[in-house]
Amino acid sequence: MPTWEDVVAVGAALPEVEESTWYRTPALKVAGKGFARLRTESEGRLVLMCGLDEKAALLESGDPAFYTTPHYDGYGAILVDLGAVDLDQLTELVEESWRLKAPARLRKARDG
């Protein structure tokens, strides 16, 4: 079961990621923009940025690791249950979330 510390470790491998807070909860940011946030430390739920098409696909997959609430309807963010997600899939989603917020120069540097 992945933890917030695993999310931080995945983020640390990406260019210019900093640990911060966002809505008074632990978060990861790139260039001052949040891309991953722990909803509350007690519930083990994560907010990740994503495209609306990807969000729809994740929700339609029926995988219980992914969900949303009315607050996030129509917004490019998916809620992830850390207790139910696979670490490989989480790693992919964190990087994609980072890509959505990272400046082009950082994406280019990452892609080599």
pTM of the predicted model as reported, rounded to 2 decimal places: 0.93
Residue 105's pLDDT is: 96
Residue 43's pLDDT is: 79
pLDDT (tens place) for every residue of the chain, 112 residues total? 899 999 999 999 999 999 999 999 999 999 999 999 999 766 789 999 999 999 999 999 999 999 999 999 999 999 999 999 999 999 999 999 999 999 999 999 999 8
Instruction: Report yes or no: 66 and 77 within 8 Å, Cβ to Cβ.
Output: no
In the numeric block, which tokens belong to residue 80?
A: 């992830």
The three-class DSSP label of residue 69 is coil
Residue 84's pLDDT is: 95
Dihedral sign, Cα of residue 78, residue 96, residue 39, residue 85: positive
The label of the residue with tokens 């809620």 reads 79
